[in-house]
Amino acid sequence: MQLKAPRGTYDILPPDSSKWQYIEGILKETAETFGYREIRTPIFEHTELFERGVGSSTDIVTKEMYTFKDKSLRSLTLRPENTASCVRALIEHSIYSGIMPAKWYYIGPMFRYDRPQTGRYRQFHQFGVEAFGSNSPYLDAEVIILLIEVLKRLGLKEYELHINSVGCMQCRDVYRQKLIEHITPVKDKLCPDCQTRYQQNPLRVLDCKEKSCHQAIVNYPTLSQHLCDDCASHYDVVKKGLKANSIDYRHDDNLVRGLDYYTNTAFEIHIPGIGAQSAVGGGGRYNGLVEDCGGPDLPGIGFAMGIERLLLAVDTLAKELDSGKSDVFITIMNDDYELQALELLTRLRQENIRAEKDYMGRSGRAQMKYADKLGARMVIIIGDDEIQQGYFTLRDMQSKEQVQIYKEEIIESVKDRLVKFRGGNG
Ligand code: HAM
């Protein structure tokens, strides 16, 4: 049997890995500009963290977790998301007793057992931010502005921002009761999933993917009509913050998010052009989560974006990246010059010049072809004349011009030319 990567996982090979590096660079830089610092948490955690953190009635916990027992029979789970892990780390290291807000970002793999399709994988990657310790609606606005800034820096213009407020525990309890009363008479028309979950979690019916569920509950009472005064004014300030920053949004009564921890502001960003899995990011406030996980009563807000989905959106843009290209290729006309080539290669690389040579015993001609394939801008040729007379031949692969450069001056000469190349061609 030929071994293959497990279903829903994939390899990131060069040159595609350049696109990942490019996107990750922009994500990190943007987060840092906004004052967020990187956190790295373990890939697996105690299963209980996600059961308590993400919510025991969510799709993630009931159907999608990769849970296993280790050799000491502890139940562990590959992280399906990273908010719960950040909360665990915040509590474990008593970060809350330091300067607030604590602002973190992360990039890394997450794991969910779901049906794979374009934009949906079993191992996927998220970039996310979490800010703890402040309930200011201006911080909600900042987090959304950061999300939009990421899209702008990636050159993405066609996106839709959906926002809603899912209220606090108090106003949501009142609302849930109203919604259950609305749904109960039509419960038989709901999909099997919703029939079992509407009593415990009626909000889930609002974001169910089945059309029949939406038809069944038509004219349902909305959350925004049931917000308490504090939640309503919090939501108003968030919207004002977005308007002041010229960020267009759509209030969306159906947006309740699939995780249990949200309170107040909830948001999602969709890019319609990338297919059925159009949500490139989502997040919101989670003011009860830190306490639910055993910490103090500390508010939090954040979001996560799926990097695979971002890549689908920036694909055309990233195709133009040429970061995998070599600067210089060293061609030797004779095996005797292997050592000279290796030594020169090392000196070039010590100067941060992307340098390559042949390791397949190619002929001189074949080495030039290979240099072309690698996209080398220059080739340094080492042959008999060169060695006898103490110079190297430097060939410009674009103009095909060749010049002879003294051995001692080769590094400086290559550096000068690269500066000109980079200045001219970006
Ligand atoms: P989420 O909506 O479950 O939220 O995931 C955020 C993003 O991760 C989605 O919008 C999507 O782009 C990507 N994503 C989710 N599942 C998959 C998958 N199977 N394959 C590919 N991409 C996927 C969270 O995870 C929350 N922790 C976000 C958050 C942070 N809320 C507050 N802070």
Residue 91 CB burial class (10 angstroms; 0-12, 13-18, ≥19): middle
For 213-271, write each residue's pLDDT tens digit: 989 999 999 999 999 999 999 999 999 999 999 999 999 998 988 888 999 999 999 99
Low-confidence winner among 5-19, 75-89, 246-260, 312-326 (lowest mean pLDDT): 312-326
Residue 222 corresponds to which amino acid?
A: T
Comparison of pLDDT for 75 and 1, the residue scoring more: 75
What integer pLDDT is reported at residue 426 of this predicted model?
41
Pocket of ligand 1, candidates 10, 49, 61, 81: which has the most ligand atoms within 8 Å of its Cβ, to mutate? 81
For 361-384, write each residue's pLDDT tens digit: 999 999 999 999 999 999 999 999
Whether 322 shows a pLDDT value over 60: the answer reads no
Cα(268) to centroid of ligand 1, in Å?
10
Please give the average per-residue pLDDT across 189-212, as a whole number: 89
Write the DSSP symbol of residue 120: B
220's tokens: 């349902």
Atom of ligand 1 nearest to the CA of 279: 10
What integer pLDDT is reported at residue 364 of this predicted model?
96
SS3 assignment for 158-204: CCEEEEEECCCHHHHHHHHHHHHHHHHHHHHHCCHHHHHHCCCCCHH
One DSSP character per residue, 341-399 reads: HHHHHHHHHHTT--EEE--S---HHHHHHHHHHTT-SEEEEE-HHHHHHTEEEEEETTT
In DSSP terms, which residues pair with 102 in a beta bridge? 132
* Helices 229-244 & 137-153 angle (0-180, nearest 10): 30
For 16-69, write each residue's pLDDT tens digit: 898 999 999 999 999 999 999 999 999 999 999 999 999 888 889 999 999 999
Please give the average per-residue pLDDT across 128-141, as a whole number: 98
Domains of the chain, with CATH numbers? 16-168+228-313 (3.30.930.10), 328-421 (3.40.50.800)
Ligand 1, atom 18, residue with closest C-alpha:
120
What integer pLDDT is reported at residue 204 of this predicted model?
87
